[in-house]
Structure 1
């Protein structure tokens, strides 16, 4: 059964069955741009294995998963010239897709993000999304 038929869009993206502006993919994670970003360059890092929450991630997978999250956070800063990142995860509450995912959001002073209110933006088109993904992907090679 395909990941799409199984109903999980993140599994489908990780399997290459749904298109995404992919930043990175290996045997552990897939990292791709959020289609409703808080700020442009907002990346989601998901494990290839379908687990719903951090508690469901096997202990031996926690280190490899977060090593990749760390690398993506560094790449978002380098690739986008961001002053920092906001790295966050929801478990069940406010988790729009029931598949573990970590948000890596580029941050800059006075960017308007306050507390936990996450306004969303859009990419002008697929080419703009591809440009942001390429910049982060290129910076990953430097991490």
Structure 2
């Protein structure tokens, strides 16, 4: 059922505390933790505690929680003392999504060229 934790979801297990992660922030609706394969000096993931496959599904079903994810992105940047940063939501395998649980990548701490790549 959408929104319910999934037994086979890595991020649901992290949100529930069943798999360890380096958690940097937690709210009633989100968990933020360091990426295990950082692509920038600051690379933190912000996930909703509810399970939706991607950011679009989360925003359609629970817009307030989607807003919480974005709010936490700013809080992570503030805590990390990163003035300029990028928020990335990968949607679909062609875009690089490998965990099918909505999540925002917060990247900063170095120059981030545009276009990325």
Instruction: Report what 2:103 is aligned to.
Output: 101
Which TM-score applies when normalising by structure 1? 0.66
Which TM-score applies when normalising by structure 2? 0.79
Which of the pair has more CA radius of gyration? 1
The number of equivalent residue pairs is: 108
Can you give the 5+ residue segments of structure 1 that lack an aligned partner in the other structure?
118-143
More helix by share: 1
Q: In the aligned structure 2, how far is the partner of 1:26 from the partner of 1:99?
A: 17
Q: In the aligned structure 1, how far is the partner of 2:39 from the partner of 2:8?
A: 25
Equivalent runs, 1:1-143 vs 2, <5 Å = 6-57=7-58, 58-76=62-80, 78=81, 82-92=82-92, 93-109=95-111, 115-117=115-117
Q: In the aligned structure 2, how far is the partner of 1:107 from the partner of 1:116?
A: 15
Can you give the 5+ residue segments of structure 2 that lack an aligned partner in the other structure?
none
- Asked if the contact 1:86/1:107 (under 8 Å) is kept, the reply is no
Runs of 4 or more consecutive aligned structure 1 residues displaced over 4 Å after TM superposition: none
Aligned Cα root-mean-square deviation (Å)? 2.1
